[in-house]
Amino acid sequence: MSSQMLESRELERLLSAAAVSESFRRLLLVDPVKAFNEGYQGERFRMNDRLHSQLKTMRVRTLPEFAQQLLMGGMEQEMVAAD
């Protein structure tokens, strides 16, 4: 499995956990790196260096804003790789 596919799968799992758990969602919005590292209900998420850097700089208030910033960060990465 490619690293891009793996990252996409992990982000889907992360967003799913945030959608069903208010406490996890709050942690994700306040401290995304901590939420990623702690996981959800015993499930851990894998994070590469690019995603870790992106999460450290994110400042959002809602889950849709969080998802949008993740998507934009991934698109920027693809554009750089295509150059």
Q: What is the pLDDT of residues 41-57, one digit of tens each?
A: 999 988 788 888 888 88
Name the nearest CA neighbour of 51 among 65, 71, 24.
71
Residue 81 is predicted with a pLDDT of 46
Residue 8 is predicted with a pLDDT of 80
Please determine, for residue 26, whether its predicted confidence score (pLDDT) is greater than 90. yes
pTM: 0.77
Residue 1 is predicted with a pLDDT of 54
Asked whether 77 and 50 are in contact (CB, 8 A), the reply is yes
